[in-house]
Structure 1
Amino acid sequence: MKLVSWNVNGLRACVNKGFNDYFEEMDADLFCVQETKLQEGQICLDHGEAYGQYWNYAEKKGYSGTAVFTKLRPLSVRYGIEEDFEPEGRILTLEFDSFFLVTVYTPNAKRDLSRLEYRLEWEDRFRDYLVQLDGRKPVIVCGDLNVAHQEIDIKNAKANRGNSGFTDEERDKMNRLLDAGFVDTFRYLYPDRKDAFSWWSNMPKVRERNVGWRIDYFLASDRLKPKITDARIDSHVLGSDHCPVVLEIDID
């Protein structure tokens, strides 16, 4: 099974920059997007009868939002954590026969860290939710988690320590999530691979010089580790300030 996750930073803009070409090229079983930045009826994507579409729109126009395109018919779909509603459209959970798929756009702490406290509280609720799901069947989590977990996951670790996305608090929340029974699929296969990034600032020449961060992930329940066959970062794919990440796994 092939799964793709991509923070498109505005799906309408990304469609004009090659989104559909990449989508068709990948022919994924599950294709997840974050930061769709649109409302219902503002886009029409027709990928044929092969794909069902599920959308979680933010209440605020032009903000956040997630979506999943799936060849598999889900048993159920959920649009939040505690309740079946998420005002910022950050979470979608699809239940299948043998696993849950959760795509997420984790809140940013903001440059001045004004939203850090909210972010940390949100992380605790999200972890508890995933653990609860994992108690029922294995979980695959993908999306923009808005944190570079280890120093190897960011180009200039020393200079960025304490900045949004690389605070000790945010990194510790990732530690706690993994310790709760999940694995970072890319680092599981490639523990020492350097300069593997999924996001770059829009400042001039930053992407060309690969001065980036790895903040987009596929996580999976620990018991799925033997089924992981490949995890990669398609850094050559343009169209957003993020690039797609891919997971291949032997699961039905």
Structure 2
Amino acid sequence: MRIISLNANGIRAAHRKGFFDWLKKQKADFVCIQETKAQHWQLADREFFPVGYHSYYHDAEKKGYSGVAIYSKHQPVRVVYGLGWEEFDREGRWLQVDFENLSVVSLYLPSGTSKEERQQFKYRCMERLHPHLEELAGHDRDYVICGDWNIAHKEIDLKNWKANQKNSGFLPEERAWLDEVFGPVGMVDAFRKVDPSPDRFTWWSQRGRAREKNVGWRIDYQVVTAGLAERASAAEIYTDENFSDHAPLIIDYED
């Protein structure tokens, strides 16, 4: 089973940069997209509904903002749009497809970089997500929550960690929350299960040739329940082409 996650920074922009042509060659079972930045009615091109996939979009109410999507090779038994939190759901941040023994989620956790108000919203989302993640970890089914979590967990997960300790995305409170998620809560960072190496980033600033110099952050994850983590067999961050300021995160799981 192959799962791909990408913050597209605009699904229409990613399309223009060749994302869907690349995707056709990947043989992915599930593709989770964040930051679609489009309303469903704006996606008239057939490419936005890839052949061979069941395609689902959860748009933000605000045009050109946020939004998540999932392309699934398999017909789900249920599709869940949001988590029942109005301020979270109206920004299109959680989309879930359920199967008999597996649930796949596309999550876009808020960023707090723009202003303090957004950082406080991010903290509220983290607080609300914590017990929900505990509940998922306790289920006897597999869960994979793909997406842009907007937090680099450890020093190895960003290049300039010393200079960013007071910046959103690497704040002590955010990192401690991920310690909980990957500790007592019982979820697993599937990428680190497979690849412990440094300088493995999924996002780069568009300033100062950061991508060329690989001065980046690893803020995109596939967070999985323990049983699925044991089946993670290979991981790749695809950087040969540039579809977004993020790179596709590809993880293979043994069936």
TM-score range, shorter chain: over 0.9
Match of 1:73 in 2: 75
How far apart are 1:132 and its partner, in Å? 2.1
* 3-state DSSP of counterpart to 1:81: coil
CA-atom RMSD in angstroms: 1.6
Match of 2:100 in 1: 97
The ranges of structure 1 where at least 4 consecutive aligned residues each deviate by more than 4 angstroms after the TM superposition are: none
Match of 1:212 in 2: 216
Q: Distance in 2 between matches of 1:46 and 1:37?
A: 16
Match of 2:254 in 1: 250
1:111–1:163 contact (8 Å) kept in structure 2: no
How far apart are 1:41 and its partner, in Å? 1.4
Identity fraction in percent: 40
Q: Distance in 1 between matches of 2:192 and 2:154?
A: 10
Aligned length: 249
Question: In structure 2, which of residues 175, 183, 189 is the aligned counterpart of residue 184 of structure 1?
Answer: 189
* 3-state DSSP of counterpart to 2:208: coil
Structure 1 unmatched runs, 5+: none
Match of 2:137 in 1: 134
Q: Distance in 2 between matches of 1:83 and 1:77?
A: 17
* 3-state DSSP of counterpart to 1:217: strand
2:145–2:222 contact (8 Å) kept in structure 1: yes
Q: Distance in 2 between matches of 1:113 and 1:83?
A: 21
Between stretches 234-243 and 26-35, larger displacement belongs to 234-243
Match of 2:237 in 1: 233
TM-score (norm 1): 0.94
1:128 maps to amino acid = P
Structure 2 unmatched runs, 5+: none
1:29 maps to amino acid = D
Change (3 A) 1:33 1:70: same
Q: Distance in 2 between matches of 1:23 and 1:235?
A: 14
* 3-state DSSP of counterpart to 1:41: helix
2:229 maps to amino acid = K
Match of 1:35 in 2: 35
Q: Distance in 1 between matches of 2:250 and 2:116?
A: 30
Question: In structure 2, which of residues 169, 172, 175 is the aligned counterpart of residue 171 of structure 1?
Answer: 175
Q: Distance in 1 between matches of 2:157 and 2:208?
A: 21
How far apart are 1:177 and its partner, in Å? 1.1
How far apart are 1:206 and its partner, in Å? 1.1
How far apart are 1:173 and its partner, in Å? 1.2
TM-score (norm 2): 0.93
2:137–2:187 contact (8 Å) kept in structure 1: no
1:206 maps to amino acid = A
The one-character-per-residue Cα deviations of 1:65-120 (angstroms, maximum 9, x if unpaired) are 00000001111111112369810001101111111111100001124443222211
2:15 maps to amino acid = V
Q: Distance in 1 between matches of 2:248 and 2:234?
A: 14
1:112–1:164 contact (8 Å) kept in structure 2: no
